[in-house]
Amino acid sequence: MAGRIPQHFIDDLLARINIIDVLDGRVQKLKRTGKNYSGLCPFHKEKTPSFTANQEKQFYYCFGCGAGGNALGFLMDYENLNFPEAVEELAKTAGMDVPRDDSPEQREKDQQLKQLYDLLEAAAQFYEEQLRHNHNRSEAIDYLKSRGLSGQAAKAFSIGYAPSGWDNLLTKLGSDESQIKLLETAGLLIHNEERDSRYDRFRNRIMFPIRDQRGRTIAFGGRVLGDDKPKYLNSPETPTFHKSRELYGLYEARKHSSKLEKLIIVEGYMDVVGLAQYGIHYAVATLGTATTAQHLERLFKIVPEIIFCFDGDNAGREAAMRALKTALPVIEDGKEARFLFLPEGEDPDSLVRQEGTESFSDRLNNAQPLSEFFFKSYAENSDLESMDGRARFSTEVLPAINSMRPSLLQQMMLDRICELTHLSLEQIQTTVNFHQSVQPPAAPEPAFNENTQHSPGYDNHYQDDYYPFSQDETDSYTLYDETPAPHKPSINSFTPRATNLNRKPHNTELSFAQKLIALLLHYPKLAAEYTLPDELQIIEEQDIKILTQLVHYYNKHPDSSLGQLVVDWREDEALANTIVQLYEISTSLEIRSEADARIYLKDAQHGLELKALEIEISQLQKKAQLNSDDKIKLVQKIQKLNQLKSINRQ
């Protein structure tokens, strides 16, 4: 049935469904352990249960592979369903009929999408037919044979042939003007606006249908047979095809095995097909783009290990470095990325034919781990025997490691930096926090004294006129105090006034923003009592962005559960990437009562405001010259900071 599913129905459905009933029978060894249920994760191989589900929050999470979500998300990933199909499946379980937005606009949109899929499938069949029967097919057949491709392999991937000529497909499928427009929308025709004519996009090419996870043809890639350019041509972006998300061969790999252990990312269609012919059915290729974070996030939901395969020349090394930088922010414990470099002049297709499946598999098994390739690549351009070289090396590698998610791998890579640079952990702990998302170093305390070199125009007369008091005896900022205050607790330390909080040992590792996120996830209605400080906009941190989005969401939907939030956020790609983080944060802080939550909220809010103010004050001080407005603003910020610190001590 066509039409958009109303949001109120999805909310009602999730409220009626028990996620434990959905998991039962799909998650092995599922059993109750305290408040939660645990079992063996169905998304990666494991012997010790790391999969957990919370019946109260109607949420699941795997600490091994990072998979997480609600009942809808589980069905989508486990059964390989799209969102509407998962809703239909859950509705059957609950004995509910799925209503649809049956507006004329939605019906027209759904109808066009269905027509596009049908047309693309018809085009795929046309190209296959041309490879078998076209009288000029010999050049295409000879090319495939020269690449060692068997007829069986070509059939498995539905490889076809687009013959020479400007209107072969147009004549076959363009029966009327509406069909011609659909062919153009599908990326199969090109419109010459000057002549107001249309012609086939793919001509004299070997054709590779690109399929989505359901096996539907969504686009094509074509390899030229003559000297025309480009050598490889892909479909443009269309309503069915987004090249930054899709991967050639992923459908075929999952069709061959529903329990894949690893995937290889190669560069070309023929590499995927050639490897499959030799029994390596777990290769995929990007579609005219470098590997994106979207690609990796998607693949890591399917397998725990990804192997990047590159040529051994300089271009291959450069491509590998780009892939490395893309993989670092995505990799996490339980996931592994490795790098394989082939002999110069060889590609996976030619090498597997030359040396056979077993030898090529040995190469894959011996591919360099991400950490090994990382340090080898960065160390090549640094002299680690000299202090200057080690300093340069640290400057280059720390930002890259800082981009990683908190993990054991990140910690071990930081330890490796210590070994290579002869720096202690204490020295680099000021830059990198081992146990939480990396935060920028705390802003320096703004202290003006007689030994301080003042900015031009900032003289003692201004200080006396606008800041008549001298100093605070504890931890307030001063404008001309010669010595540091006797007690200046770090804003990164946090001691809530509530004494009856039941917290896990690692709660102290949460940042102020994470504490606030956890509080709001436990008590969404508190969002109405929390006002985002204006100063937050200067803190460029992911947790701050998530907190801001969460406050706005709960102000609009104060009665939403975490499960309902997941449904809403899954449709937005940027928000969908934060869902697992939300679950991890929510399980890191347990609060006994709403009264305690309010106390905790106030303390965390103060801490975050202090941090934002210190950063803003530091930025003002670093200006080469302060105008009169800046001077007044600086004093106001210092006064506000002192007031907040005074409140926080009470």
Give per-residue pLDDT as tens, 498-531.
333 333 333 345 677 787 888 888 778 777 776 7
Average pLDDT in the 355-379 region? Answer: 94
Of the listed ranges 316-330, 390-404, 632-646, the least confidently predicted one is 632-646
Select the more confidently predicted residue: 64 or 71. 71
Of the listed ranges 14-23, 270-279, 388-397, the least confidently predicted one is 388-397
Residue 535: pLDDT over 80: no
For the chain, the first-to-last Cα distance in angstroms comes to 62
Q: Two tokens at 560? A: 């939403």
pLDDT band at 406 (very low <50, low <70, confident <90, very high): confident
Same fold flag, 7-94 and 103-241: no
Residue 303: pLDDT over 80: yes
Rounded distance between C-alpha atoms, residue 500 and residue 488, angstroms: 26
Q: What is the DSSP string of 131-183?
A: HHH-TTTHHHHHHHHHTT--HHHHHHTT-EEE-SSSSHHHHHH--SHHHHHHH
Q: Write down the pLDDT at residue 364.
A: 95
Rounded distance between C-alpha atoms, residue 352 and residue 647, angstroms: 70
Average pLDDT in the 165-175 region? Answer: 93
Residue 332: pLDDT over 60: yes
pLDDT band at 428 (very low <50, low <70, confident <90, very high): low
pLDDT band at 2 (very low <50, low <70, confident <90, very high): low
pLDDT band at 425 (very low <50, low <70, confident <90, very high): low
Average pLDDT in the 245-257 region? Answer: 90
Fold of 242-380: Dna Topoisomerase Vi A Subunit; Chain: A, domain 2 (3.40.1360)
Residue 480: pLDDT over 80: no
Q: Write down the pLDDT at residue 643.
A: 66
Fold of 442-650: DNAb Helicase; Chain A (1.10.860)
Of the listed ranges 69-73, 336-340, 413-417, 533-537, the least confidently predicted one is 533-537
pTM assigned to the model = 0.57
Q: Write down the pLDDT at residue 286.
A: 92
- Cβ atoms of 223 and 205 within 8 Å: the answer is yes
**3-state DSSP call for residue 285?**
strand
Select the more confidently predicted residue: 563 or 174. 174
Give the highest mean pLDDT range of 195-199, 225-229, 303-307. 303-307
Domain ranges of the chain: 7-94, 103-241, 242-380, 390-428, 442-650
In CATH terms, 103-241 corresponds, of 3.30.530.20, 3.90.980.10, 3.30.70.890, 1.10.3720.10, to 3.90.980.10
Name residues whose C-beta falls within 8 Å of residue 23's C-beta, 6 or more positions apart in sequence: 30, 37, 39, 53, 60, 74
Average pLDDT, the chain: 78
Task: Kindly state which CATH superfamily the domain 7-94 is placed in.
Answer: Zinc finger, CHC2-typedomain (3.90.580.10)
**3-state DSSP call for residue 37?**
strand
Q: Write down the pLDDT at residue 166.
A: 93
For 347-368, b/e burial (b = at least 16 CB within 10 A) is bbbbbbbeeeeeebeebbeebb
Exposed (0-12), middle (13-18) or buried (19+): which is 585, by Cβ within 10 Å? buried
Average pLDDT in the 400-410 region? Answer: 87
Residue 424: pLDDT over 50: yes
Q: Two tokens at 514? A: 């994470």
Residue 437: pLDDT over 70: no
Residue 533: pLDDT over 60: yes
SS3 content of the chain, % helix, strand, coil (to 5): 50, 10, 40
Rounded distance between C-alpha atoms, residue 181 and residue 344, angstroms: 45
Do β-strands 217-224 and 232-234 pair in parallel, antiparallel, or remain unpaired?
Answer: antiparallel
Residue 196: pLDDT over 80: yes
Of the listed ranges 83-97, 268-282, 635-649, the least confidently predicted one is 635-649
**Measured between alpha carbons, how far is residue 87 from residues 5, 6, 84 in Å?**
9, 11, 5
Rounded distance between C-alpha atoms, residue 106 and residue 609, angstroms: 46
